Amino acid sequence: MLIKNYIYTLGKYLPEKNRADIGKEVEATIYEQLLVKYGEKDYSNEEITEVLYEIGSPRVVAEAYLGKPHTIISSELIPIYFMVSKITLIAIIISLMVTGIIETVQADLPTIAFIIDFIAGSVNACLSTFGVITLIFILISRKGVSVPETDEWQISSLSKFVPAEHRISIVEKAFEIGFTIMALIWLNYFTAGLYMKTGAQTRTLELFNTSEFANIIPIINTLWGLSIALSLYLIIRGTWDRKSRIADSVLSLAGLAVFALVVFGKGYIDFSVVQNLLNSEIVTVLKSILSISVVVTAFFTGLTLWKHAKAEFISK
């Protein structure tokens, strides 16, 4: 178990794409040194500990593979920092591009105007977002999430090995952060609706009753903001705990409740514009799609709750 803990801790300081290969290589080195030092046998914890101390701190070993140490942001957070930054910035650029294209077509603006606005907006949004993400990770590093390295590290400081099924997928959570930010941009800066091109004109069929829907936007912003915060916490921690599972369950249920309220509640969605322009059959189809979406969301929310309940209460 000590070797597993050592390799698991080492992996926290490495990019995900290199983690498995470097982990296998270091593990092979550990067993080679044990074989040379003690021969072929069942090794005791004391013997393994002595070899691990000879090999050195997981952070130092990881930095040796990476080529240089990181100082501003702690080593174990660097891979997470780059992944979150990359996916978030890509999501922002895609969101701004789609929004800009629709607004350009809708207002019949020149292409050059779209390009200039898109570049200016992307640079501004990306620099601001990148700065905020960098500041957050620097503060996390400084506030003690990362344990400062000393000349004499201790075996007791190794992270406990976590089975693969209980770990967090950094890629999945990073994508969730990126696309949640994209959804926040659309919710707060973009008129949601259907877009139809009739002849040379593009018409906007707004589905939401602006005055009523505005009352629920702060709730959605809060839920999505908490979701981003939870994803960041899980990425940094690397594994689920009871509090994070409960938080994820509560956010999932709250999100389902808000979605159902918007779809089935009175006053949030107004189909009259669609019905007047098209016909009642289209409205019926749209209502069916929204209802099915609520049912599908409820199904996946149920799977999430079952997964958390099984991990915390049933499997133990």
Domain chopping of the chain, boundaries: 1-69, 71-148, 191-316
The encoded tokens of residue 277 equal: 């322009």
* Per-residue model confidence as pLDDT tens for the chain (316 residues): 788 888 888 887 777 677 788 888 888 888 888 888 888 888 888 888 888 888 888 878 887 877 655 556 766 677 777 777 777 777 777 777 776 776 666 566 677 777 777 787 778 777 877 777 777 777 766 554 444 444 467 776 776 766 666 677 776 777 788 778 777 877 776 544 444 444 444 445 566 777 777 788 889 999 999 998 898 888 777 788 888 889 999 999 999 999 999 888 877 777 776 666 666 677 787 788 888 989 999 999 999 899 888 877 765 5
pLDDT of residue 69: 53
**Of 1, 92, 11, 89, which Cα lies nearest the Cα of 45?**
1
Cα-to-chain-centroid distance, residue 313: 26
Say what the alpha-carbon torsion angle 285, 286, 290, 291 is, to the nearest 10 degrees: -30
pLDDT at position 90, please? 77
Token representation of residue 98: 């789609």
d(CA 23, CA 243): 30
Q: What is the pTM of this model?
A: 0.58
Length of the chain: 316
E-strand stretches of the chain? 193-198, 201-206
Pairing assessment for the beta strands 193-198 and 201-206 based on DSSP bridges: antiparallel
Please report the pLDDT score of residue 217 as a whole number: 85
- Residue 8 token pair: 């698991």
Cα–chain center distance at 218: 21
Structure tokens at 95: 């969101």
End-to-end CA distance of the chain: 20
Residue 195 confidence (pLDDT) = 43
The DSSP 8-state label assigned to residue 239 in this structure reads: B
Q: Which amino acid is at 197?
A: K
Diameter over CA atoms, the chain: 85
Burial class (CB in 10 A: 0-12, 13-18, 19+), 110: exposed
Query: Quick one: DSSP state of residue 3?
Result: H
C-alpha–C-alpha distance, residues 20 and 7, integer Å: 9
How deeply is 173 buried, as exposed, middle or buried, from its count of CB atoms within 10 A (0-12, 13-18, 19+)? buried
